[in-house]
Chains A and B, each alone.
Chain A
């Protein structure tokens, strides 16, 4: 069945370093969404990308949708301790319901 994979699974960085997580789908996606889940919390919607090659920024976060609409990335510039959490991508599956990626857990050391 359709799969959405993310790499890396874990990432530990020093505060101030950059961080990138990659999302890859086995099929073409009509859109890609990104969510953040703080430790012990619930997923919170961050952004949705729809167009091929689209790039969107939210302060230190940069989101990109691949040209083939099968991959996406989230880049955080100069990480802060508040960035700690797990980042999930999600895309519509065959039944038009979201399929969530496996997530990347980010740990930031002060």
Chain B
């Protein structure tokens, strides 16, 4: 039981490049989330998915797209990376549809130069 897994762990991009961050959970959770965490700051919600086939914007969605591929997988895509997107990205999942406790993946540390 791996919980929540994320790939890659580290990534360096040049401005304008694109990439997809992958996330998968094996806990049969309904809801999945993408957060970004900037140095010394809290977690800000980018997008979330309450169930397979649905996605909604969070607090900071600009510059990102998401896909809930199936119940297990939730990917985050940066179409044209910008230095302001340098951050640590965390994927999380929760059992239900509401504000349950969340289980986080190990994170992806992204640097955009």
- Chain A positions within 8 Å of B, measured between CB atoms, are 30-31, 33, 41-45, 48, 88, 91-92, 95-98, 100-103, 105
By the criterion CB–CB under 8 Å, are A100 and B43 in contact?
yes
**Interchain CB contact under 8 A, B101 and A43:** no
Residue of A nearest to B56 (CB): A95
Interface residues of B (CB under 8 A from A): 33, 35, 40-45, 48, 56, 58, 90, 92, 98-99, 101-107
How far, in Å, is A37 (CB) from chain B's closest CB?
Answer: 9
Nearest CB of chain B from residue A35's CB, rounded to whole Å: 8
Partner of A98, one of B40, B99, B103: B99
8 A-B contacts, Cβ less than 8 Å apart?
A33-B99, A44-B104, A48-B101, A92-B99, A96-B99, A100-B44, A102-B41, A103-B41
List the B side residues contacting A30 at CB < 8 Å.
99
